[in-house]
Structure 1
Amino acid sequence: MALTSRLARRADLPELLPLIDAAIGELQKGFLDEAQIASSRSIMGIDTQLVDDGTYFVVESAGSLAGCGGWSRRATLYGGDHSQGRDPALLDPARDPAKVRGMYTHPSFVRRGVGRLILARCEKAAAAEGFRMLELMSTLAGRPLYEAAGFVPVEQVEDPAGGVPVRLVRMRKPIAAPAS
């Protein structure tokens, strides 16, 4: 199965939204109960600012969407367009970590390298802009992928925004400067 990746476009949104919905609904089973999965929909989703900033990727396989995700040079750590507490302030690469955001894999493509491909694209792009650290807020379902990719937990939190608290893990990873 060959995977390809490219920058997302606004025109991709009608296809990305069902992929994200399927990922939230299916991939958290075994980590969250049904009430927590329903609650997590209020704190998860696509942030179109990433698409507009040119930092959001789409992964495809044989013409099918396999996943999406990106990174941000803005202060918001997680959440979608509908989430509270978003902060569009630009980060300082000399002191702030770039944020890995909105990572979703279609359930049909789990454990096939989709997440790793997106993380590699994020790391390379953030390093090219001078960032030396990546940070993300992981779901419990995503934590094994991020740990395998070198992220370490720095804080566990609960987000009650959807009415039922959802456990999340803030994680970080140092990244190297691009080779000259």
Structure 2
Amino acid sequence: MNRLENPARRRLFRGKLSHKPEQRLPWIISEAVFTSGCDQCQDCIKSCETQIIVLDEQGFPKIDFSKGECTFCQQCIQSCEKPLFKPQAQIDSGLETPWPVTLGINNKCLAKNEIYCRSCQDVCETRAITFRYQDTSIAKPELNLDDCTQCGACIATCPQDSLSFTFISEAANAR
């Protein structure tokens, strides 16, 4: 597969001047380092045990949580020959989050609309998503972002696509 030399040029000709941030592989150094250093060999796609790594419009790997969750097996990191990821000691420390994102629940959530659903809580191993009654007959979801591992299991299982990750820089700009 041939690598696109300048993805911004393609966006210009398509009339898309701004670049929507993609959910890249966990623990990359930065988007700029990733897109300038990735040779699009697809070794990370082949090595992903949950098959959630796909190609974006420019041919770079990205995570698609609609296909499943990330188990943080680090096979994508180990299969990559390029220096695109944070140092292993930094990853192993547990202080680094895999992505600069925050989890959010939008208003399409069934429970928020008085329809019983707890599919996100059922798959959340760390119990970052809990439900609490708030003067209604249906319990509403609550997020404890400190417990969220960012695995994406809740995103894949939600029947309404009401859960998503928002890049922290986007969340800060929206305020």
Specify if TM > 0.5. no
Answer with 1 or 2: which has the greater Rg.
Answer: 2
Q: By percentage of residues, which structure has more strand? A: 1
Q: TM-score range by the shorter chain?
A: under 0.3
